[in-house]
Structure 1
Amino acid sequence: MKLYKLGGVLLLSLILVGCGNTNSSKQSSNNESKTDMQNSSSTTSSSDSQQSATSTSGADNAQSDSQSYDFTSLTKYLAQKLPDTLLPQSSGLGETSRNVHIRYNGNANNSSIYYSLGNNALALNDAGIKGEIPYAVLAKRTYASSSEAQSHLDYTAASEIKGLPKVDLGHSIVGHMQSGAGQQYISWNEGNWSISVHGSPVNNTTPKKLAVSSVNMFENYALPAPNTQGVVKFNVGSSYQVITWQNGSVVYRLRANDPAVAIRMAASMK
């Protein structure tokens, strides 16, 4: 009977020890499981953070690109497309809330560049620009020789207008007036430039006021120095204002809807 009790005690002890080991194993397994979940959660969180950072960086880059479509940036892009081409570094405009758009066609030898205005900042040659009316157009044409290029300028020598009536334009500049058939021209020469302003007294668009204001602007804005000749033709009450000059075998022709805009753009070219 004592042996039976002793055997029962031993058996009970073994059962209790086995249960204890099982609980300990379960607890250890649970702890390892919790650790794995925490590690997984930490890895997932780190991955999510990296993905979020990447997305944010991409958005910043996109925003930076959209903000780079200002006049200066567009001009730099254009210079890469048209190497060895003189370009205006100024839009020629005063303060404006609108964005300058630029599109072009051609190549480094012969090109046409169109400047227009829009509400949104757009990339160079954006499809949305084509229908806009440009406020200025710059054309570059390359000829076989300097003499051929010169033949494409409508230059008036000082000797051709010397005998016409004089007009004081200020800053020691004297213009010469030619009238006929209801039209009136004031012409003068400065350096290698021949300049004329056209108006019509019949239409109350006499040229003297624009001629005087042009002389004043030339005192503050130096036009490019042509290798041989340059021509300025302004028209009162018109959107057709043209500055043309020769640079070796190349002729640049800038047309704008406003004389002051044309002068500022031409003077900034480099």
Structure 2
Amino acid sequence: MKLYKIAAVATLALVLTGCASNQSDSKNYKDESKAALNSKPTHKHAKAKTSTNTSSTSSEASSSSSSSSSSAETKSNNSFASLSSQLASKLPNTLIPQASGMNASQPVNIKYSGNSQNSKITYSLGQKNLPLNSASASNNAYAVLTKKTYASASAAKQAVDFQPASSVKGLPKVSLGHSITGHTQSGAGQEYISWNEGRWSISVHGSKVNNTNPKSTAVSAVNMFEQYSLPAPESVGTVKLLAGDTTNLSQEVKFQKGNQVYTLKANTASAAIAMAASMK
């Protein structure tokens, strides 16, 4: 009987020990689960912070892009093409040069005065593109375009001072290339080469006194006329070039359109011809 009691007590002790162990394991599991649950907000916060940083970076990039775009737009609005477009709206029914006659990378600034009947447009070089009629634009023009309205088409035609081919007939001839023949005349140290192309009369003035030979300028002009087509005047047009001068707006293209006359003066023959050829 004693043995049975001892065995029973031992068995009971083992059962109680097992229960205590199970309760401890259960408690540890619950504590671990609770700790795991409590750790989740930390990861969530980190994710949110990363998202915020990404959003901030994206916002800064967008702002930088917007600033660059705005700067490019401002530059574009002051480009030669944009200024020419603005001129066309300010001076309706006026022929405007679409080419500056300068290197494409060279900033050109423009001022104008007058209206669609009578106007003056001044082109100057600058360090940067400026708005139309900017007070900061240089007054040292490399080209000036004027438009003048006359009482009649015949009065406008007379103002062009066109020289017909018959006026130089019989004068000494000089070959200028591209099957163009010029006629020379000289006196008092001055020398001229003249010729006609279509409705245009062209003359180049040189000076023996100043050692300026008109032939080289005339040949260059003929070559340019092969590259550029001058506007077709309704009646007449003239080109007057001065050899050796590149500073005094002494290169001139003038033509009639109805009762109006356009006169483009530039420092160089190349600028005058390129600008006049682009007028529309």
Displacement after TM superposition at 1:171 (Å): 1.1
AA in 1 matched with 2:129: A
TM-score of the superposition, structure 1-length normalised?
A: 0.76
Residues in 2 aligned to 1:120 and 1:232: alpha-carbon distance in whole angstroms: 31
Distance 1:158 1:56, change over 3 A: closer
Displacement after TM superposition at 1:260 (Å): 0.7
Aligned counterpart, 1:93: 102
For structure 2, which runs of at least 5 residues remain unmatched after alignment? 1-57
Aligned counterpart, 2:120: 112
- Equivalent of 2:82 in 69, 73, 85: 73
Superposed CA deviations along residues 218-256 of structure 1, whole A, max 9, x for unmatched, are: 011010000110000000111310000001111000000
Asked if 1:246 is matched to 2:266, the reply is no
Superposed CA deviations along residues 250-269 of structure 1, whole A, max 9, x for unmatched, are: 10000000001111001111
* 2:221 aligned counterpart, secondary structure: helix
Pairwise CA RMSD = 2.2
Asked if 1:125 is matched to 2:129, the reply is no
**8 Å contact 2:237–2:256 — kept in the other structure?**
yes
AA in 2 matched with 1:78: L
Residues in 2 aligned to 1:223 and 1:253: alpha-carbon distance in whole angstroms: 13
Aligned counterpart, 1:150: 157
* 1:156 aligned counterpart, secondary structure: coil
* 1:179 aligned counterpart, secondary structure: strand
Displacement after TM superposition at 1:137 (Å): 0.3
% same residue? 55
Please list, as runs of the form range in 1=range in 2, the aligned pairs for 1:189-228 lying within 5 A after superposition.
189-228=196-235
AA in 1 matched with 2:97: P
Residues in 1 aligned to 2:195 and 2:75: alpha-carbon distance in whole angstroms: 46
Distance 1:263 1:59, change over 3 A: closer
* 1:112 aligned counterpart, secondary structure: strand
Residues in 2 aligned to 1:60 and 1:216: alpha-carbon distance in whole angstroms: 41
**8 Å contact 2:113–2:119 — kept in the other structure?**
yes
Distance 1:158 1:99, change over 3 A: same
Residues in 2 aligned to 1:229 and 1:94: alpha-carbon distance in whole angstroms: 30
* 1:94 aligned counterpart, secondary structure: coil
Residues in 2 aligned to 1:64 and 1:198: alpha-carbon distance in whole angstroms: 45
Residues in 2 aligned to 1:66 and 1:203: alpha-carbon distance in whole angstroms: 43
Distance 1:200 1:72, change over 3 A: same
Residues in 1 aligned to 2:111 and 2:200: alpha-carbon distance in whole angstroms: 29
AA in 2 matched with 1:153: V
Residues in 1 aligned to 2:65 and 2:227: alpha-carbon distance in whole angstroms: 47
**8 Å contact 2:121–2:144 — kept in the other structure?**
yes
For structure 1, which runs of at least 5 residues remain unmatched after alignment? 1-48
Asked if 1:255 is matched to 2:265, the reply is yes
Residues in 1 aligned to 2:119 and 2:277: alpha-carbon distance in whole angstroms: 19
Residues in 2 aligned to 1:59 and 1:262: alpha-carbon distance in whole angstroms: 36
Residues in 1 aligned to 2:244 and 2:68: alpha-carbon distance in whole angstroms: 48
* 1:152 aligned counterpart, secondary structure: helix
Q: Which has the larger radius of gyration?
A: 2
Aligned length: 220
Residues in 2 aligned to 1:165 and 1:184: alpha-carbon distance in whole angstroms: 12
Residues in 2 aligned to 1:184 and 1:147: alpha-carbon distance in whole angstroms: 31
AA in 1 matched with 2:126: G
- Equivalent of 1:102 in 97, 101, 110: 110
